[in-house]
Chain A
Amino acid sequence: MAKSELKVNGAKYDVELEPNVTLLDALRERVGLTGTKKGCDFGQCGACTVLVNGRRILSCMALAMMHVKDEITTIEGVGKNGTLHPIQTAFIEHDAFQCGYCTAGQIVSAVGLINEGHAVTDDEIREAMSGNLCRCGAYVNILAAVRQEVRRAGI
């Protein structure tokens, strides 16, 4: 057990960490940010997607201690000061979720996708979002929301 500092959504959190604590479990159980979800814990569903230095990764397959120097962004940090990010508004507008459990991962993944700047066409967006499973089958609407934001970002 060691005292570590994690930088999440622009704030610093002091947490007790053992080396075998994943970034996901650190966020959910020790920092207390439960917006990021555990769907499979084996890197197969994408529900745990967070940004590390602006890049999307799977927090269940990362060790928290290996990211103490990094800027971590979770779903709680996508909006600012109570105002929703346009991608979040787009998700509501297009009904791009149903049960909402994969949604944090989808949204953070979409932010990462836009940061990457490679996916432009519908097929490219579908492929680039394929690391986020949705069992409710909201894919059609998620595409609509992400497409809207990709266009707005002028990619």
Chain B
Amino acid sequence: MTTTLTRGAATGTPVDRIDGRLKVSGAAQYAADTNLQHAAYAVFVTSTIARGKIRAVDTAEAQQIGGILRIYTHENTPRLTQPPPEFEKGIVPHQIVFPLQSPDVVHYGQQVALVVAETFEAARAAAARVRVTYDAEAPVVDFDDGRAERSKPDEFFGSPMQSSRGNVDRELAKAPVRIDNIYTTPTQFHNPIEPHATVAQWQDGKLRVHEPSQWVIGLRNYLAAIFKLQPDDVHVLSPFIGGGFGCKGFSFPHTVYAAVAARDLARPVKLVLTRAQLFADAGNRSRTEQRLRIGANRDGKLAAIDHATSMAGSAAGWFVEPAGMTTGMLYACANVRISHEARKLNTPASTAMRAPGETPGTFALESAMDELATELGIDPIELRIKNDAQVDPESNQPFSGRHLVECLRRGAERFGWKDRPDKPRQRRSGNDLVGYGVATATYPGMRAPTGARVRIDGDKYVVEVATHDLGTGMYTIMAQVAADALQVPISRIECRIGDSTLPQAPVAGGSMSTASVMPAVQAACVKLRESGAAVAEASVGPGDESDRYSFHSFGAQFVEVHVDEALGRVRIARALGVFDCGKVLNPKTARSQMLGGITMGIGMALMEEGIYDARTGRVVTDNLADYRIPVHADVGEIEVLFVEHPDYVFNPLGARGMGEISITGVAAAIANAVYNATGKRIRDLPITPEKLL
């Protein structure tokens, strides 16, 4: 996919998105927009039990519908085994359990049959007529079900999930002031507006797949492994992705089965998951229950923290939500214990969702800090500043750049923090109680080895990387960096991404794309310019700086709430996020990322709640009316400020990622503001009317 721009620009300026014209005119092609000649349509049938075995699949009634080409069940699919996970190659299955290979059912909504037909309407109608009978077993669904197998995972992508420093028990017991509370966050669902979709096509033994993927190289390698092909014989295309937030990062069975059908029928197959199916088959953020104990001295200095998290895990998956991961790093404290426990349930597999771990973890920690501030009679901002650290207390490495204090102070001034009611229930506006809240935001800086190629094509420079734009602005900042490195106007740059044949890039996750891709693009472009060649490639990655420094972005979230206590309604009157993410490559798209994360945080705080029926394991909120994401009317004024300290230790562009820090801290800031307004401390999300009445 190529895109061009017609205005001049440079890194650090608010260039309009270069894919903007395509998006506003309906010309940007998403996977399901791929209409190939003679394509067939596929629709899944999913299980209505959470645990047990398929007894029989009766397709007789379904076959009566005209235009049915094939109905796959576990009895007639080709025998396939998922490859073992290899993270470096991006071979990361979403689920451990691979559907349609055995009669076993491990979660409600598991894919149990696939109908392929001449038209979507025929496939959908036939899928509704497939009759599956089960031998059901009692599922374990409830988070507090004593039958759930509990385990203590060792690590989360290399970071320990059980750790301890100092003497937490002794220091907690000694501390003059102690906070001990439990915070809970519900199951959350990503709900990108674009459902997962695959258009698969074979030609001469080679597979081409159109799929919204946050990891085209990873998906390619997964598909090559499962179909026993050379990676070069699999081509994954993902030029436009309709939102991901983590649920399009790993590899899914639906992609495989679209390809199976396409191979069997020797024609392209289009398969689109329904919205309801996303709730069962596209991942979620695990529910957490976090006990946070903090001991402090009367002057506010933290003495000890114990952050114990219980997470919902899935019998179908492997991902867990590491809520405690931030706590060891965020504040100066010599005695910290982090622990995590997973409870294995017959619920769908979880996956990474925007700032996995940090999001629920900062809700708990930043609420607890606010409670501590109240207990101590210290301003919540001063409490955080008192416990700031310039050396990572967990790794003992200096932070490459930590400007949390500046974010808090700049934000306090901009927000008018001095006007915050100093006690709850002091300020009214009509029927509403008014309150202000603040919380720290944080996310690690990560970077992975990445390649880039630039070549001259007429009067254009074509920059190619197998990276991704899921609304993050990658097309645009790549063009800006290339334009500067080549010393040409941005109108002469074309960017090609979302294609697995292009030079290697990491998953669009961990907010690492900018930091990984830009140095490679810059290096390739400089090489081209200096060498005078027609094409240049570069492959660059982090050096040993990651052994010497700790890389994190920080920010401060400020919120003013108006609470109509009689009716239990909370309105976000205004919000301010102040962030230090290193150099801001494009202030326009960066601001949008922050607005987006803050908006998602509002949803998390006030309305999003995935609910399972404990008897069946079904997500009863499996649609966009019952699972509430924010609407226009929920969002008032939001301001974003950047405190810009380029982090050249981290990478030559000085930029850290933005996509995930924006949601962290928001829910706590809102809960803290609700406390300031009403005197009611809500530790259980979402903050719905019944909790305030």
* A residues lining the B interface (CB < 8 Å): 18, 20-21, 25, 28-29, 32-42, 44-45, 47, 74-76, 78-79, 84, 88, 91-93, 95, 97-104, 107, 123, 125-127, 129-130, 132-143
**Quick check: B195 and A39 within 8 Å, CB to CB?**
yes
- Could you tell me which residues of chain B, from 572 to 594, have a CB within 8 Å of some CB in chain A? 588-589, 591-593
CB distance from B43 to the nearest CB of A (A): 11
Residues of A within 8 A of B633 (CB): 123, 126-127, 130
Query: A40-B623, A136-B596 given as contacts; is B121 within 8 A of A95 (CB)?
Result: no
Partner of B275, one of A42, A132, A140, A143: A42
Contacting residue for A99 out of B16, B241, B638, CB 8 A: B241
Known: A130-B633, A135-B193, A138-B595. A95 touches B588 (CB 8 A): yes
Give chain B residues whose Cβ lies under 8 Å from the Cβ of A34: 26, 29, 32-33, 35
CB neighbours (8 Å) of A45 from chain B are 193, 275, 624
Evaluate contact between A37 and B592: CB separation under 8 angstroms: no
Interface residues of B in 586-625 (CB under 8 A from A): 588-589, 591-593, 595-600, 623-625
Contact B592 A100 (CB under 8 A): no
Write the chain B residue with the least CB distance to A75: B26
Given contacts A39-B194, A95-B592, A135-B192, contact A101 B242 (CB under 8 A): yes
- Asked if residues A99 and B635 are in contact (CB atoms below 8 Å), the reply is no
Q: Tell me if B479 counts as interface (CB < 8 A to partner A).
A: no
Among all A-B residue pairs, the 9 with the closest Cβ atoms: A35-B26, A101-B242, A137-B599, A98-B471, A99-B471, A100-B23, A137-B596, A75-B26, A34-B33
- Mark out the residues of chain B between 159 and 214 whose CB falls within 8 Å of any chain A CB in the assembled complex: 190-195
Would you give the shortest CB distance from A43 to chain B, in whole angstroms?
A: 9
19 interchain pairs (CB within 8 A)? A20-B121, A20-B125, A35-B27, A41-B275, A75-B24, A76-B25, A76-B27, A79-B25, A84-B25, A92-B20, A97-B23, A100-B23, A123-B633, A135-B190, A135-B193, A135-B600, A138-B592, A139-B630, A140-B637
Within the assembled complex, what's the spacing in Å between the Cα atoms of A136 and B633? 15
Shortest CB distance B509–A (Å): 15
Q: Tell me the complex Cα distance, A93–B21, Å.
A: 11
- Interface residue count for B (Cβ, 8 Å)? 62
Quick one: closest A residue to B29, CB to CB?
A: A34
B593 vs chain A, min Cβ distance (A): 8
Cα distance A34–B625 when bound, in Å? 25
| B241 vs chain A, min Cβ distance (A) | 6
**Cβ-defined contact, A37 with B24, below 8 A:** no
| List of B residues within 8 angstroms of A21 by Cβ | 121
Check B295 for interface membership: any CB of A closer than 8 A: no
Contact B245 A135 (CB under 8 A): yes
Q: Does B17 contact A (CB under 8 A)?
A: yes
Report the nearest B residue to A142, measured CB to CB.
B632
B24–A134 CB distance below 8 A: no
**Are A141 and B595 in contact (CB-based, < 8 A)?**
yes
Assess whether B599 is in contact with A139, with CB atoms less than 8 Å apart: yes
- Cross-chain contact B26 with A104 (CB below 8 angstroms): yes
Number of A-B contacts (CB under 8 A): 182
Known contacts A35-B26, A133-B624; decide if A99 and B632 are in contact (CB<8 Å).
Answer: no
Contact B30 A101 (CB under 8 A): yes
Q: Which chain A residue shows the least CB distance to B595?
A: A140
CB neighbours of B637 from chain A (8 A): 140
- Contact across chains for B191 and A135 when beta carbons are under 8 A apart: yes
Is B243 an interface position by the 8 A CB rule? Answer: yes
State the majority secondary structure of interface residues on B: loop
Which B-chain residue is minimally distant from A33 (CB atoms)? B26
- List, in ascending order, chain B residues with CB within 8 A of A76's CB: 25-27
Docked CA distance A125–B195 (Å): 27
Question: Would you call B595 and A137 a contact (CB within 8 A)?
Answer: yes
Cross-interface CB contact of B26 among A36, A132, A137, A138, cutoff 8 Å:
A36
| B residues in contact with A140, CB < 8 Å | 595, 599, 635, 637-638
Partner of A130, one of B22, B470, B592, B631: B631
Check if A100 sits within 8 Å of B120, measured CB to CB.
no
B24, A107: Cβ atoms under 8 Å?
yes
Residues of B within 8 Å of A142, CB to CB, are 632
Q: Is the CB of B32 within 8 A of A139?
A: no
Any A CB within 8 A of the CB of B319: no
What is the chain B residue whose CB lies nearest that of A105? B193
Complex Cα–Cα for A22 and B637 (A): 37
Q: B28 near A: Cβ within 8 Å?
A: yes
A123, B573: Cα distance in complex, Å? 12
* CB nearest neighbor in A for B631: A130
> Which of B19, B190, B194, B598 touches A37 (beta carbons < 8 Å)?
B194
**Cross-chain contact B121 with A139 (CB below 8 angstroms):** no
Give Cα A38–Cα B241 distance, bound, in whole angstroms. 14
Answer yes or no: B77 CB below 8 A from chain A CBs: no
- Residues of B with C-beta under 8 A to A20: 121, 125
B272 within 8 Å of A (CB atoms): yes
Tell me the complex Cα distance, A155–B248, Å: 42
Known: A98-B596, A142-B632. A92 touches B24 (CB 8 A): yes
Contact B635 A126 (CB under 8 A): yes
Residues of A within 8 A of B623 (CB): 40, 42, 44
Q: Known contacts A98-B243, A136-B243, A139-B635; can you find 14 more A-B pairs with CB under 8 A?
A: A29-B35, A33-B26, A34-B33, A37-B194, A42-B624, A45-B193, A76-B26, A84-B25, A95-B589, A99-B244, A100-B22, A100-B23, A100-B240, A133-B629
In the docked arrangement, what's the CA distance between A41 and B275, Å?
8
Query: Within the assembled complex, what's the spacing in Å between the Cα atoms of A37 and B26?
Result: 9
Residue from B19, B119, B591, B625 within 8 A of A100 (CB atoms):
B19
Q: Is B472 an interface residue (CB 8 A)?
A: yes
Tell whether, in the assembled complex, residue A99 and residue B624 are in contact, meaning their CB atoms are under 8 Å apart: no
Asked whether, in the complex, the Cβ of B193 is within 8 Å of the Cβ of A101, the reply is: yes
Which residues in B have their C-beta under 8 angstroms from that of A141?
A: 592, 595
Chain A residues near B473 (CB-CB < 8 A)? 98
Residues of A within 8 A of B598 (CB): 137
Whether B274 is near chain A, meaning CB under 8 Å from some CB there, is yes
In the complex, what distance in Å separates the CA atom of A135 from the CA atom of B632? 11
- For the complex, what is the distance from the CA of A102 to the CA of B26, rounded to whole Å? 10
B residues within 8 A CB of A91?
Answer: 20, 24
**B27 with A97: CB separation less than 8 A:** no
Pick from A41, A97, A102, A126: contact of B20, CB under 8 Å: A97
CB distance from A109 to the nearest CB of B (A): 10
Nearest to B194 among chain A residues (CB) is A101
Contacts of A40 in B (CB 8 A): 195, 275, 623-624
Please name all residues of chain A whose beta carbon is closer than 8 Å to the beta carbon of B19 when the two chains form the complex.
100
